[in-house]
Amino acid sequence: MINDVAIYRIFEIINRFWDFSQNPLTLHKPNLMSKKNTKYIFVTGGVTSSLGKGIVSASLGLLLKSRGFNVTIQKLDPYINIDPGTLNPYEHGECYVTEDGAETDLDLGHYERFLDSATSQNNNVTTGKIYQTVIEKERKGDFLGKTVQVIPHITNEIKRRIKILAKENYDIIITEIGGTVGDIESLPYIESVRQLRWELGENNSMVIHLTLLPYLAASGELKTKPSQHSVRQLMESGIQADVLVCRTEHKITKEIKAKLAQFCNVPAENVIESIDVETIYQVPLELQKQKFDEVVLKELALPFNQESDLKDWKNFLKKYKNPKKKVEIALVGKYVSLQDSYKSIAEAFIHAGASQDTEVKLRWVYSGDLTEENLAENFNGIDGMLIAPGFGDRGIEGKILAAKFARENKIPLLGICLGMQIMTIEFARNVLGLKDANSAEFDLTTKNPVISLMEEQKNVVDKGGTMRLGAWKCQLKPHTKLIEIYGNKNITERHRHRYEFNSDYLDDFEKNGLYASGINPDTKLVETLELRNHPFYIGVQYHPEYKSTVATPHPLFVALVKAATEK
């Protein structure tokens, strides 16, 4: 007898030779295409942006993982940029870098921090990437002269990108769709979800719709009408939400839940409250109280007999909320008016602080305002300092002054990426006596480019995705602070830079006390610098903040917090 698998394969072969761009013959049995029957969860948003789809997705991922499921999360971004790598941080917040060197949306940082597992380039898809791929195929003639259209070509590519993670054998893939329902740029994604849900079959996918319940102080009530309209708009696109997650400032009554259930076609128990909380790390526990993960597993016809194990998460939260000590650390940067620009750094301090029973208060200092005259005022009473990464020459001189202040006043300092380069310039000017020392990024004419353009970057013209990106090896030298901090001489950390420490000056630096404690074993590039006779003065060319999670706080941030408490 010919079984379903055989029938599917026959149709697949016929389609390959018939017209694979249009696929006129279809038999949708996608679950037969992989050994594991991967389930898909789509998270959409309505009414307004910035409701917290990323946090809800990450929280759900954590709850499902705690029940023993293998989970990953991906983000579909409707903007036409290829990635956020060339976007101004004021425009889009932090650019988060994955192990494999993808420049991605900051929500991937939340995914990694909650799930304690690495993401990849496949976890972030943009409209730019979708159109780029389709146009490249068209130029090669892959569509055999067919007219290239949003449907089916763009939607087919979106569906391919959504399903590509299934090859990694996940039980559940959560896909967050950026923007809100009704946005013109989101329409191809919504249509792709509609098609994919039909193709996947019953109980293999579901839609969670995150919406807002605004509170009108004048009448003293929560209003459901915006959510009703949002769900209706989703239904007009052919998608019925299975679960509503309602962002609110006030508790949702049973009457409101019943009203939403009736007008949005969902069971009352599938209306989940997402109330404002003190910290994002409280969200998973609030959702767990409402059995959010059980609701999801029922919709996907998955077992939920294994209890969630959030003991470590609750312990972290308890320590975070009940610190025994307090330190204040100055974060010196040029994007401090939009703190999302340094999101991973801020979260890394939370992880490190909780691990040390310490509240870490960040003092956000705009480097462009720093002068010799106001340094003492701006840094009065701080216990530590971090000089943030970045690009461009704005605020650079202020950062140099901050590094000098930390060095001379024995204040624990961690410089990240550009921060390490700033420490290099400051030391060259004020200790080595090279008054015109600078980075070639800021002054091409300087006679002492202690920071220079990497050799492989000299002929680079395109700026997007061409930096030194992703995980690179670093070998730490014995008898250094960093090898004590890491407890291992061989480490890998994520990078995002074009400029490097100019090794022509290394001997002079080391003779005067600032030495290279970490070197890339393959390129011989200087990865880390340490200052002798200082309690904590460390610069790293990489970005340790990207690898800090709730479960595994990054040792460099832990060490900085320790040094700050000792001061």
pTM of the model: 0.88
Q: Do the beta carbons of residue 565 and residue 359 sit within 8 Å? A: no
Which has the closest alpha carbon to 244: 280, 223, 204, 274? Answer: 274
Least confident of 83-97, 191-205, 262-276: 83-97
The pLDDT of residue 50: 82
Within 10 Å of residue 11's Cβ, how many Cβ atoms? 17
Q: Which residues pair with 386 in a beta bridge?
A: 331, 414
- Rounded mean pLDDT, 94-101: 92
Query: Above 60 in pLDDT, residue 8?
Result: no
Nearest to 230 by CA among 240, 221, 220: 240
In eight-state DSSP terms, residue 48 is: S
Cα–Cα nearest to 558, from 267, 279, 358: 358
Instruction: Output the pLDDT for position 15.
Output: 47
Q: What is the pLDDT of residue 305?
A: 81
Of 289, 291, 363, the C-alpha closest to 326 is: 363
Secondary element (H or E) of residue 227: helix 225-236
Q: Which of 191, 417, 500, 554 is catalytic?
A: 417
CA distances for 98 relative to 107, 109, 417, 543, 552, angstroms: 12, 9, 16, 11, 17
Whether residue 214 is predicted with pLDDT greater than 60 in this model: the reply is: yes
Q: What is the pLDDT of residue 279?
A: 95
Interior angle at CA 104, CA 461 and CA 331, nearest 5: 95
Question: In degrees, to the nearest 5, what angle opens at C-alpha 549 toward C-alphas 79 and 482?
Answer: 115
d(CA 109, CA 293): 22
Flag whether pLDDT at 497 surpasses 70.
Answer: yes
- Cβ neighbours, 10 Å, residue 498: 17
- Complete DSSP assignment for 82-98: S-GGGS-HHHH-PPEE-
Could you report the per-residue pLDDT of 360-412, keeping only the tens digit for each?
999 999 999 999 999 999 999 999 999 999 888 899 999 999 999 999 999 99
What count of other Cβ atoms lies within 10 Å of the Cβ of residue 308? 18
Beta strands in 182-324 (DSSP E): 205-212, 215-216, 221-222, 243-248, 271-275
The predicted-structure confidence for 417-438, as pLDDT tens digits, reads as follows: 999 999 999 999 999 999 999 9
* Interval 51-80 mean pLDDT: 95
Residue 456: pLDDT band by 50, 70, 90 thresholds?
low
Q: pLDDT-based confidence at 2, cuts 50/70/90? A: very low
**CA gap 477, 513 in Å, rounded:** 15
Q: Does residue 10 carry a pLDDT above 70?
A: no
Long-range CB pairs of 233-239, under 8 A, 24+ apart, other chains included: 233/46, 233/181, 233/182, 234/44, 234/46, 234/181, 234/190, 234/207, 234/209, 235/265, 237/181, 237/187, 237/190, 237/191, 237/194, 238/191, 238/194, 239/44, 239/190, 239/193, 239/194, 239/197, 239/207
- Residue pointed to by tokens 């025994």: 324
| pLDDT higher than threshold 80 for residue 459 | no
For residue 340, pLDDT beyond 90? no
| Residues contacting residue 133 through CB under 8 Å, at least 6 positions apart | 157
Please name which of 161, 177, 179, 158 lies closest in space to residue 92, comparing C-alpha atoms: 179
Average pLDDT of the chain is 90
DSSP per position, 507-565: HHHHHTTEEEEEE-TTT--EEEEEETTSSSEEEESS-GGGG--SSS--HHHHHHHHHHH
Question: In the predicted model, is pLDDT for residue 488 greater than 60?
Answer: yes
Percent of the chain with pLDDT over 90: 77
pLDDT band (50, 70, 90) for residue 460: low
Residue of 299, 359, 441, 545 marked catalytic? 545
Cα–Cα distance, 557 to 562 (Å, whole number): 9
**Dihedral (CA of 50, 55, 58, 59) sign:** negative
From the list 549, 545, 531, 515, the residue with the least C-alpha distance to 413 is 531
* Band (92; pLDDT cuts 50, 70, 90): confident
* Ramachandran area for residue 390 (φ above 0: left; ψ -120 to 50: alpha; else beta): left
What is the band of 332 on the pLDDT scale with cuts at 50, 70, 90?
very high
pLDDT value of position 336: 86
Q: How far apart are CA 122 and CA 139, in angstroms?
A: 23
Task: Please name the amino acid found at residue 345.
Answer: I
| Whether residue 7 has pLDDT greater than 80 | no
pLDDT tens digits for range 227-246: 999 999 999 999 999 999 99
Catalytic site includes residue 246: no
pLDDT tier for residue 57 given thresholds of 50, 70 and 90: very high
| Least confident span in 242-251, 337-346, 500-509 | 337-346
Residue 531 has pLDDT above 80, yes or no: yes
Residues 6+ apart with CB under 8 A from 437: 425, 428, 429, 446, 448, 449, 450
Cβ atoms of 99 and 118 closer than 8 Å: yes
Label residue 461 by pLDDT band (50, 70, 90).
Answer: low
Within its chain, how far is the Cα of 431 from the centroid? 38
- Our answer to whether residue 543 is catalytic in this structure is yes
Q: Can you give the length of the chain in residues?
A: 567
With 50 as the cut, is the pLDDT of residue 12 above it? no
Pick from 161, 185, 175, 142: nearest CA to 61: 175
Helix (H) or strand (E) holding 108: helix 107-115
In angstroms, rounded to a whole number, what is the distance separating the alpha carbons of residues 46 and 183? Answer: 10
- Residue 96's pLDDT band, with cuts at 50, 70 and 90, is very high
CB 329 within 8 A of CB 385: yes
Position 91 scores a pLDDT of 77
* 152: DSSP letter: I
Of the residues 92, 495, 534, 543, only one is catalytic, namely 543
Instruction: Give the CA angle between residues 302, 34, 140 to the nearest 5°.
Output: 130
Q: State the CB neighbour count (10 A cutoff) for residue 447.
A: 10
Whether omega before 152 lies within 30 degrees of 0, making that bond cis, reads yes
Those residues whose C-beta lies under 8 Å from the C-beta of residue 124, and which sit 6 or more positions away, are 74, 75, 77, 83, 98, 102, 104, 105, 108
- For 438-447, what is each residue's pLDDT tens digit? 999 899 899 9
Choose among 41, 14, 11, 2: nearest CA to 29.
11
Residue 6 pLDDT exceeds 50: no
